[in-house]
Structure 1
Amino acid sequence: MEFPIIKKTNKLERIFVLAALIVIGLILGTLIGVAYPLITGCNPTDMNSLRFIQICSQIFTFILPPIIYSMLINDRPFKSLGFNKTTLLWILIGVAMTYTIMPLNSIIGEWNANIKLPESMSGLEEWMKTMQESATEMIEKLVYVDNIGGLIINLFMIAGLAAFGEELLFRSIIQTSLIKLCKNAHIGIFIASAIFSFIHLEFYGFFPRLIIGLLLGYMYYYSRSIWIPMAMHFANNGTIVFLYYLNSIGAVNIDVEGFGKTGIVITLLSVVATIALFWFAIKKNKKIEN
């Protein structure tokens, strides 16, 4: 097959194509997810149905649209998606930063969770709380498993598919497009990270997810390999999945939502470590370019 499939598209046409693919994917994923319990006769709220719906959502909303979009628009679709070679060092630096940022993100998360809107916006605040509780309830229903099989499925679904699909859409496509549109890498990365955080509809976790999005965005920008943010995303989600599993089997008793929270000294040291790792990554990238 010769790429791109669609020749000579302008910016507006590209936005329309991407939006159309996402909407079509969302509709298809939803229809297939809804049809599953009707065909199988199982309860739509049981574990298998929720897993199937989640997998359909990831594949049809986050994975297929960016791949198809890139094949339609770009002459080298997979290279344009960031499937470039990387090194183990880059991956280790990225994953390490995922953990060193956790203490700061825990503090930001606690502040975010206690934000109060003005009385005039009480309706909006109530809606935000309802959405947050609904999302939390569904996630906890999925992640509380007490067997290895359930853990493996969750690592594949919540860590693997989410990391692969969301990074393709938000970093490979949306961030890259915004950087070109804004002609400024920092603005493009920030807007893409804000969209990434907002789309989860967990408003009382917006700012911690924004920080993670910025970290993923900058690492993709400097490494030029989508494998780096994918590995970081997998490490972040995989850690949460594994902690919930350990809680479920009684091996530990950890507040997963507050995981990483430490004293101010450790938090400051972790911030310094994150900056140092990021600086090292940039320096490493400049040496490679030279």
Structure 2
Amino acid sequence: MIQFERKLDKYTISPIAAGFLVLIVAFFLYQVIGGALTLLFAGSEVTTENAGMIRLLTSISQILFLLVVSILFARLIYDDFNSVFKISKPDWKELVISFIGLILIISASQSYLFLQTNFIKYLSTQNESLKSFFDALNNFNSVVEESYIKIIKSNNGFDYASIVLSIALVPAFCEEFLFRGFVQSSFEQKMKPIWAIILTGVLFGIFHFNPYALLPLIALGAYFSYLVYITQSIFIPVFLHFLNNFITVTVYYFTQSDEILKTQAEVDLSNTLLLASFFSMIFLFILTIVILNKMIKIKILKQRELDNAHLS
């Protein structure tokens, strides 16, 4: 176990303030300093020629300004690395159930995005001010999506491997150690678990700057937060985060279809069918949560019985 020397009660800063402080510092360093480095070495525009350099610089920025910053602040404030970052071996059965939950929440999110697109189109026809607002939002969203498409576009196996590393693996560790590690652990010391989970999920969604996918990102972030709380292993959300990005990158690599990356995609299905799909996925997702909770309660009871047997 990695032990830090100082304890929380020796510091005047509250855990909640510490959580927000680290987010602000990480955000500033990653967006401003990391952005400046990207601008300096790769330029202001994403092209097929500089996409590899941008991926490399982004990965370096995430490691330095998200992962390392989280560990350094944990070193300054807390005394137990393992407790802050919940370093424990994941249970494979919990991992399997959690993965099923991930598939269900992704499916529900896709149905939601289709419904959201239809709703926005309807609102745009009802009010000129809303139409102007959504037009501006669409333009911003298109710029973001076009840049992202250029970054993950690959022409060969080497490009694909570098994309998996920079888009799937590095963010999975860096973002999870920041959000589910330092930030959530800080919030849990002063908040009820449910509020720590929700707040961490909200901050995770906002951090990604994707207006149309904000609610799905919040839901995904809250799910990852719930998983690290209930399983006490950060490696489960790390693995699922990696899988989520890896699936996207891999499907895009083989299909080369920009539609799978768009949050304003349309589908030739009625709203009734989309709603039915959405609520079906939500129902199955809740069922998955219930099963996971039951599994963990049984595991805890068995562990207590084993501990009591050793004591007697």
Whether the TM-score (by the shorter chain) exceeds 0.5 is: yes
Q: TM-score range by the shorter chain?
A: 0.7 to 0.9
1:141 aligns with 2:150: yes
Report the secondary structure of 2:203's partner residue. helix
TM-score by structure 1 length? 0.83
Report the secondary structure of 1:63's partner residue. helix
Partner of 1:175: 184
| % identical aligned pairs | 19
What is the root-mean-square deviation of aligned Cα atoms in Å? 3.2
Contact 1:189 1:214 in 2 (8 A): yes
Contact 2:105 2:282 in 1 (8 A): yes
How far apart, CA to CA, are the structure 1 residues paired with 2:295 and 2:212?
A: 36
How far apart, CA to CA, are the structure 2 residues paired with 1:215 and 1:155?
A: 23
TM-score by structure 2 length? 0.77
List runs of 5+ in structure 1 lacking aligned partners.
none
Report the secondary structure of 1:4's partner residue. coil
Q: CA deviation at 1:243?
A: 0.7
List runs of 5+ in structure 2 lacking aligned partners.
302-312
In structure 2, the CA distance between the partners of 1:17 and 1:196, relative to structure 1 (3 Å rule), is closer
In structure 2, the CA distance between the partners of 1:20 and 1:99, relative to structure 1 (3 Å rule), is closer
1:35 aligns with 2:40: yes
Q: Between Structure 1 and Structure 2, whose CA radius of gyration is higher?
A: 2
- Which of 132, 136, 140 is matched with 1:131 structurally? 140
How far apart, CA to CA, are the structure 1 residues paired with 2:268 and 2:289?
A: 21
Partner of 2:86: 82
Matches within 5 A, 1:104-119: 104-113=108-117, 114-115=119-120, 116=123
- How many residues in Structure 1 have an aligned counterpart in Structure 2? 282
How far apart, CA to CA, are the structure 1 residues paired with 2:82 and 2:38?
A: 28
In structure 2, the CA distance between the partners of 1:34 and 1:215, relative to structure 1 (3 Å rule), is same
1:203 aligns with 2:215: no
**Post-superposition CA distance 1:193-236 (Å, at most 9, x none):** 11111121111111111221121111111011110111111111
Partner of 2:299: 288
In structure 2, the CA distance between the partners of 1:140 and 1:21, relative to structure 1 (3 Å rule), is closer
**Post-superposition CA distance 1:109-130 (Å, at most 9, x none):** 1233443586556776455334
- Please, which moves more after superposition, 44-53 or 4-13? 4-13
Contact 1:151 1:245 in 2 (8 A): yes
How far apart, CA to CA, are the structure 1 residues paired with 2:179 and 2:195?
A: 14
In structure 2, the CA distance between the partners of 1:139 and 1:44, relative to structure 1 (3 Å rule), is closer
How far apart, CA to CA, are the structure 2 residues paired with 1:73 and 1:138?
A: 38
How far apart, CA to CA, are the structure 2 residues paired with 1:259 and 1:153?
A: 30
In structure 2, the CA distance between the partners of 1:34 and 1:224, relative to structure 1 (3 Å rule), is same
Q: CA deviation at 1:17?
A: 4.8
How far apart, CA to CA, are the structure 2 residues paired with 1:155 and 1:233?
A: 12
Contact 1:107 1:261 in 2 (8 A): no
